[in-house]
Amino acid sequence: MELLTINNVWMMICTALVFFMHTGFAFLEIGLTRQKNTINILFKNIFIITVGLLLYYIVGFNLMYPGFADDSAGIFGFAGFGFDIPLNAEGTLDLAYNEGYTYWTDFLFQGMFAATAATIVSGAVAERMKIGPFMIFTVIYVGLVYPIAGSWKWGGGFLDQLGFYDFAGSTLVHSVGGWAALVAVYLLGSRIGKFKNGKPQAIPGHSIPLATAGVLILWLGWFGFNGGSVLSADPELTSITLVTTCLAAAAGGVVAATVSFFKYKNLDLTMFLNGILGGLVGITAGADVMTPESAIIIGAIAGVLIVFAVSFVDAIKLDDPVGAIAVHLICGIWGTLAVGIFSTNGEHTFMAQLIGVLCYAGFCLVTSFLIIFTLKKTVGIRVSEREELEGLDAHEHGMDAYPDFRLNEH
């Protein structure tokens, strides 16, 4: 009982840290975009976490952990609406449900992960997507697509049976959001002024200090994201997981900043920040099965990938204001494949990792395209030119994030 209490407290602390990551995402997204769209981005982030939790309670949790039968194909299952509470003979909550945490903690920890996939899309479509269609997309993607995809590995589905491994979500969370972000950016088109004569133009964010704070908060939150994915307070496993997580983040940041300097001849803070995030995403799939040296290599390669992925996304004329595709999709794929290369567990194979990446790519590309393309052809997904130029805050929310009170002085 005492061990369960210790483990459960650790899991609740990690749950709080993952929740805090939504503050980091919000700060990062508003910092890297323009002032006139701040309220819009904040509204989306608050909508995602609130509605995401409710959807996870109603259908998501039991879609993701349906309890696949032994003879099941492990592709789709549903254990019913709401909670399927495990009870003991006395009719009270079965504390033997799991040696690491209670049923309630399990739900809340996993629910925090569910909302992250849509948050990734939020940054990629910033400054030109209508709020209504985005909300509809979030409901469907978080409520149905994410938990079904998650069940394939974390719910004991066919990829888990195949030997695919994703410790904390390089693919299950980050790439699931990244694939949808790619589709959304493609269908939306670029912001006005992003490309001139075929060449990408910089559209500076309005608060790099906020973006920096956001990244540091996200790094802190990753202590819960990866540390909690141990699913207990096991001292050795949690410690090495946090060490590999931090080393990968540091390596990703330093290498991204260095490569960016040689490529562009300037010390770009935003590239430094995205390099840190790339390292974090990259190590997430295998943080518990890596040596510190492997973690540094994985983070360093993620840092290189960030620089070239950002420029590649620009080169193919896709407009991603916060670098979500480079960070979450490209580095998510890399981190997942890296498990098959660097894992200290000899059972993890590159082929199983590759199959997993391809399965998630196909499923997420098809589902996100169907959702967003349908919205585009029915209600429309892009704001008008006037609304975009004047800002979504004024037109969709009737508010200003930084009102000039001097205008009201008499």
Find the range with the poorest average confidence among 91-100, 208-217, 268-277, 396-405.
91-100
- pLDDT tens digit string along 336-367? 999 999 999 999 999 999 999 999 999 999 99
Q: Which residues of 155-184 are buried (b: 16+ CB within 10 A; e: fewer)?
A: bbbbbbebebbbbbbbbbbbbbbbbbbbbb
Contact call for residues 321 and 203 (beta carbons, < 8 A):
yes
Contact call for residues 4 and 93 (beta carbons, < 8 A):
no
Q: How far is CA 76 from the centre of its chain?
A: 23
Q: How far is CA 397 from the centre of its chain?
A: 26
Look at residue 340 in the predicted model and tell me its pLDDT.
97
CA distance 343 to 328: 21
Which pLDDT band holds residue 96 (cuts at 50, 70, 90)? Answer: low
CA distance 135 to 44: 8
Could you tell me the domains of the chain?
A: 2-67+83-403 (1.10.3430.10)
- pLDDT tens digit string along 218-273? 999 999 999 999 999 999 999 999 999 999 999 999 999 999 999 999 999 999 99
Which pLDDT band holds residue 98 (cuts at 50, 70, 90)? Answer: confident
pTM (2 d.p.): 0.95
pLDDT at 404 over 80: no
Written as one string, the DSSP assignment of 218-277 is HHHHHHHHHHGGG-S--HHHHHHHHHHHHHHHHHHHHHHHHHHHHHHSS--HHHHHHHHH
Look at residue 407 in the predicted model and tell me its pLDDT.
52
